[in-house]
Every structure is written in structure tokens, then in C-alpha cells.
């Protein structure tokens, strides 16, 4: 594998994190939590996958949504038309839609209005998909992307009643600008190796968490298990997003496969918390985590 592959680097960083065990006075933990005023079974979520019906098979995206709904998990989803967003929302999954940084800025506002009309849990904008492999503007299908300015982000935050989340944050610099613009959540992500040698999102979590205060942070990239989620939560994340493993789960078991994978991850998270003396999500102690 390419030595600069950011997925590999992220996985190696996650695996370098060890946990203390703390058994005395420990209890069976609870993992339910609140996000944007709603209660959920677990902070283990789907990542913002896109184009599943195109890259996998017809109905793959629906299986993801149905599985998330059955597990009581937050569903994130990426680039999709309004009809697809409607089908996914109709499953009952509480959904966060991530919108690309279209050069046609009105397209972003149309999607914001649609997400609001559908009553989604939140909506987000992707800042790391503006540029393509050779440094020019990215093109997805017929849609040309364009980098957002901080002022444009401020206007987007003000344009919707939904919490607006920024995805693709991987520096304290961008985090500070997003927070100043009014973002109500940040996703730390290098978007599946969009740039080589990217810092692992978990490596930046403590620094950005110190800036974010009560603003929820989410993380993706190479998270696979409940133990991975536990490490992310201990370092400052509010939610942990699992992506590619759920694509395998869809292939193997459809919606049931997604549900079962998420529930298994929930059990792994509970085990990690029980063995480290964390009774609930508010008492996960960051000093449990050691890097070796």
C-alpha cells in the first residue's frame, strides 16, 4: 500500500492507542445520548456515504437507512438528489444530509431548504471536496465544485433553522473559522484519502475539542468497531461514524446486516466502557487513552 495513504495512516494511529483498565467501583454502562435535542441509542453512527446505488446495487442506500433506523442510530448521507433523500428519510431514520460545495451556490441553498422541509435532524456542508486530484476544481458528474469562503459559510449557517455541520475539518485553523461562522458541529475527516499524508482525525481531536467547547465533534475515517468509537469519544468526539464496513454489511445482509453491525459495535463500546470504569458517555475519561 502507498506509504502516504491517509487511510493506512489513520488506521495505524487508531491501533497505536491503548486503554487502561479500571475495574473497582465500575458498573454496567449506558450509551444512550442526546444530539440536537433528540435521544439516540448510541453515539455509533453511519458515515456520510454517497452514491451507494450506483457503486453497489439498487436499494443499497435504502438498506443503509433501514438498518440505521432499526439500530436507533443517526444516519449520515452524502451527495444525493431530493428524491433519494426523501426515500431515505421515509424509513424513519433520523438523518443528517451532507451537501457538496457546489459552484452553483443556489444549489446549496435549495438543498438546505429541502432538508429543512423534510425535518432532517441536521444538515451539513462538505468543505474538502472543492478540489480534484490535480488541484483544479473538482467535478462530480456534471456538478462543478468550488471552495467556500468563511463569509459564505456564515451565510449558510444563518440561512437554515437546522443545525449546520461542517464536514472535512482537519486543522485547528479551519475549526476556529467554522465555529466563528456559526457551525453547530464539525466532522473531522480526510474524506477517504482525498489528500495523502493527512493527519489522522483522532490525532487532532483533543486540540479541536479544546476550541469547540459544547459544539459537537464527529469523526470518521477508518473507524470500524465499538473500541474505535470509544477511543474517539475519549479524545473528545460526540459521535463516531462508521463507513466502509457498513458497505460490506449491506452486501452480506442488506438492512439486517447494517443493523447487526451497528448493534455489535454498540456492544463493543459498552465493553470498553465497562472495563475502563466509564458508567456513561459523560464520564469517559480521556486519561484512559495512552499512545504507544
Residues 234, 287: Cα–Cα separation, whole Å: 8
Residue 172 makes CB contacts below 8 A (sequence gap 6+) with: 204, 207, 208, 211
Task: Indicate if the pLDDT at residue 57 is higher than 60.
Answer: yes
Alpha carbon 109 to chain centroid, angstroms: 22
Confidence label for 1 from pLDDT (cuts 50, 70 and 90): low
The pLDDT of 193-199, averaged and rounded, is 94
176: in domain? yes
Q: CB atoms < 10 A from the CB of 260, how many?
A: 16
Residues 189, 168: Cα–Cα separation, whole Å: 5
Task: Look at phi and psi of residue 263 and say left if phi exceeds 0, alpha if psi is from -120 to 50, else beta.
Answer: alpha
Q: CB atoms < 10 A from the CB of 215, how many?
A: 18
35: in domain? yes
86: in domain? yes
Confidence label for 55 from pLDDT (cuts 50, 70 and 90): confident
Residues 81, 61: Cα–Cα separation, whole Å: 12
Confidence label for 54 from pLDDT (cuts 50, 70 and 90): confident
Q: Which residues are catalytic?
A: 191
210: in domain? yes
pTM given for the model: 0.96
pLDDT digits 0-9 by tens, 39-51: 999 999 999 999 9
- Per-residue pLDDT at 3: 87
195: in domain? yes
Confidence label for 2 from pLDDT (cuts 50, 70 and 90): confident
Helical spans, DSSP H, in the chain: 6-15, 52-55, 60-71, 82-89, 105-117, 150-158, 172-181, 201-212, 226-234, 244-275
User: Do 123 and 69 touch, CB atoms closer than 8 A?
Assistant: no
Residues 34, 275: Cα–Cα separation, whole Å: 23
Overall domain count for the chain: 1
Residues 39, 32: Cα–Cα separation, whole Å: 7
CA 151-156-162 angle, to 5 degrees, is: 145
**Exposed, middle or buried: residue 181 (CB in 10 Å: 0-12, 13-18, 19+)?**
buried
Instruction: Name the residue among 30, 60, 220, 209 with its Cα closest to residue 124.
Output: 220
Residues 209, 202: Cα–Cα separation, whole Å: 11
Query: The C-alpha cell of 135 is what?
Result: 488541484
User: Do 48 and 167 touch, CB atoms closer than 8 A?
Assistant: yes
1: in domain? no
In terms of residue numbers, what domain contains 225? 6-287
**Percentage with pLDDT > 90 across the chain:** 98
What's the sign of the alpha-carbon dihedral 140, 168, 63, 264?
positive
Q: CB atoms < 10 A from the CB of 118, how many?
A: 17
CATH number at residue 209: 3.20.20.70
- Per-residue pLDDT at 174: 98
Average pLDDT for the chain? 97
292: in domain? no
Residue 219 makes CB contacts below 8 A (sequence gap 6+) with: 187, 188, 189, 201, 202, 205, 232, 237, 239, 240, 241
Residue 58 makes CB contacts below 8 A (sequence gap 6+) with: none
Q: What letter would DSSP give residue 198?
A: P
17: in domain? yes
Amino acid at each position: 500500500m502507498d506509504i502516504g495513504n491517509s487511510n493506512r495512516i489513520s488506521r495505524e494511529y487508531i491501533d497505536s492507542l491503548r486503554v487502561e483498565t479500571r475495574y473497582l467501583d465500575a458498573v454496567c454502562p449506558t450509551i444512550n445520548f442526546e444530539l440536537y435535542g433528540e435521544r439516540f441509542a448510541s453515539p455509533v453512527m453511519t458515515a456520510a456515504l454517497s452514491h451507494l446505488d450506483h457503486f453497489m446495487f439498487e436499494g443499497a442506500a435504502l438498506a443503509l437507512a433501514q438498518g440505521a433506523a432499526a439500530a436507533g442510530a443517526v444516519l449520515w448521507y452524502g451527495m444525493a438528489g431530493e428524491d433519494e433523500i426523501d426515500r431515505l428519510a421515509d424509513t424513519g431514520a433520523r438523518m443528517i444530509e451532507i451537501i457538496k460545495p457546489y459552484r452553483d451556490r443556489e444549489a446549496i441553498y435549495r438543498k438546505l431548504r429541502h432538508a429543512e422541509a423534510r425535518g432532517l435532524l441536521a444538515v451539513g456542508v462538505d468543505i474538502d471536496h472543492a478540489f480534484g486530484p490535480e488541484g483544479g476544481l473538482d467535478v462530480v458528474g456534471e456538478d462543478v465544485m468550488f471552495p467556500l469562503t468563511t463569509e459564505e459559510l456564515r451565510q449558510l449557517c444563518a440561512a437554515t433553522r437546522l443545525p449546520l455541520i461542517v464536514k472535512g475539518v482537519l486543522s485547528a485553523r479551519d475549526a476556529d473559522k467554522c465555529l466563528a461562522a456559526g457551525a453547530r458541529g464539525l466532522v473531522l475527516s480526510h474524506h477517504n484519502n482525498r489528500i495523502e499524508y493527512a493527519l489522522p482525525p483522532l490525532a487532532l481531536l483533543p486540540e479541536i475539542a479544546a476550541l469547540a467547547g459544547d459544539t459537537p465533534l464527529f469523526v470518521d475515517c477508518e473507524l470500524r468497531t465499538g473500541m474505535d468509537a470509544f477511543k474517539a469519544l475519549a479524545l473528545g468526539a460526540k459521535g463516531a461514524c462508521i463507513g466502509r464496513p457498513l458497505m460490506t454489511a449491506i452486501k452480506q445482509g442488506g438492512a439486517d446486516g447494517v443493523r447487526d453491525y451497528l448493534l455489535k459495535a454498540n456492544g463493543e463500546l459498552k465493553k470498553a466502557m465497562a472495563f475502563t470504569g466509564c458508567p456513561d458517555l459523560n464520564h469517559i475519561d480521556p486519561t484512559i487513552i495512552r499512545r504507544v
